[in-house]
Structures are given as C-alpha cells and as structure tokens.
Amino acid sequence: MEKYQKKLQKHLDKGRYEHTLGVMYTCAALAMAYHYDMEKAMLAGLLHDCAKNIPNDKKLELCKKHHIEVTEVERENPFLLHAKVGAWVAKKKYDIRDEEILHAIKVHTTGEPAMQTLDMILFIADYIEPCRDKAANLEQIREMAFRSLEQTVEQILFDTLHYLNQKSGRIDPTTEVTYEYYKNRRERSL
C-alpha cells in the first residue's frame, strides 16, 4: 500500500490526496461491515481518482491511443473520463491486475446497473468520506451506508441527479439508468 501512496501523492494535489485517503479508510470500514476483503477495498479507494489530475485533452488523447470508448456526454464533460482512464492507469501504471478493483474504479462516478459489492463500496465511500461536506443528507446517507449498500446507492444517485438537474449539468445516461435500476429493484422487493 505504501509504494502506491508515495506514487499517487506525486500525481495528485494535496486536497485530492486527502480525499483519496478518506475514501481508502471509508472503503475499509464498509468492507468490515459487509465482510468484503479489506485490502482490496482499500486499494480501490486509494487509486480510484488516480487519473483526476490528468488534463482533459490528455485524457481524450489517452482514450484515442488506447482504444477506450468515449461517449458524446464524456466528450462534452471530459472530467467524467477520469473513472475509465483511472482504471486504465491503475492497470498500466500501478500494475493492478485484480479485475474487481479495476471495474470499481471504472464505474465510480456514474455507477452502473447491478454493481458488485466492491463497486458499491467504492461508489458510496467516494460520496461519504470524512472530508466531504457539501452534499445534502450526508448524515443520513452515512448512517444508511452501514445498513444497505443498494439503498444507499439509490439515495446517492437520486441526490446526484437532483443536484445535476439544478445546476443544469449534462447528465450521463448511465447515471440515470443506474438510478432507475436501483429504484425498480427496491420497488419490486416491496
């Protein structure tokens, strides 16, 4: 873990690195609560934003060069690509071979339907880690995170869509599809 930390610190600004450590430890806590491999969860948390400080044009260039598909919304909002590109960087530059970790990094911003345990742990940890303070309902979501991963994912997506609608940010269809998936899943089980 330490060798990854040293390298990451060089590629992230101070605030982003602190966020990263917050996500890493929150991933550990959630892994404990849901009997998931703690080391793997921490590694996913540590590396999830490893591509965050790559400039947009460079991210688009990397995608082109390495045949990573870029959707129309991603082209308009290249910051979204830090997740996909992050999975690539984790594999090629940090030598991560674990597919669960790489996948969790890849989907950490929009989520996707039917996520695996680590995908949900990282998605949630990114939102609730201790440095976060702006999102609505944080206290409630932090508590919910330790009761149900699926319900928490649904709540975070609901709040994120609401936030994006308010500030008229372009919404990635994956974010919407994922929200609908978790909402329907809960309603079916009622």
User: Which residues make up the interface to ligand DGI (CB under 6 A)?
Assistant: 19, 49, 52, 77, 108-110, 126, 160, 164, 169-172, 175
Of 14 and 188, nearer to ligand DGI (C-beta) is 14
Residue 169 touches which member of ligand DGI, Fe ion, none, C-beta under 5-8 Å by kind: ligand DGI
Q: Would you say 115 and 107 are in contact if contact means Cβ atoms under 8 Å apart?
A: yes
Of 16 and 185, nearer to Fe ion (C-beta) is 16
Residue 110 touches which member of ligand DGI, Fe ion, none, C-beta under 5-8 Å by kind: ligand DGI
Of 38 and 177, nearer to ligand DGI (C-beta) is 177
In whole angstroms, what is the distance from residue 97 CA to residue 133 CA?
33
Tell me how many residues contact Fe ion (CB under 5 A). Answer: 2
Q: Which of residues 25-54 bind Fe ion (CB under 5 A)?
A: 49
In whole angstroms, what is the distance from residue 148 CA to residue 136 CA?
19
Residue 148 touches which member of Fe ion, ligand DGI, none, C-beta under 5-8 Å by kind: none
Site string for Fe ion, 97-116 (x = CB under 5 A): --------------------
Residue 175 touches which member of Fe ion, ligand DGI, none, C-beta under 5-8 Å by kind: ligand DGI
Three-state SS annotation for 70-104: CCHHHHHCHHHHHHHHHHHHHHHCCCCCCHHHHHH
Q: Which two tokens stand for residue 49?
A: 């934003």
Of 167 and 188, nearer to ligand DGI (C-beta) is 167
Under the criterion CB under 5 A, does residue 126 sit at the interface with Fe ion? Answer: yes
- Helical spans, DSSP H, in 12-166: 14-33, 38-47, 56-65, 72-76, 81-92, 99-106, 117-128, 138-144, 149-166
Of 134 and 188, nearer to ligand DGI (C-beta) is 134
Which CA distances in Å does 96 have to 12, 91, 93, 163, 186? 18, 5, 8, 33, 34
Residue 137: closest CA among 113, 171, 160: 160
Q: How far is the CB of 171 from ligand DGI (least distance, A)?
A: 4
Catalog residues that contact Fe ion under the rule CB under 5 A.
49, 126
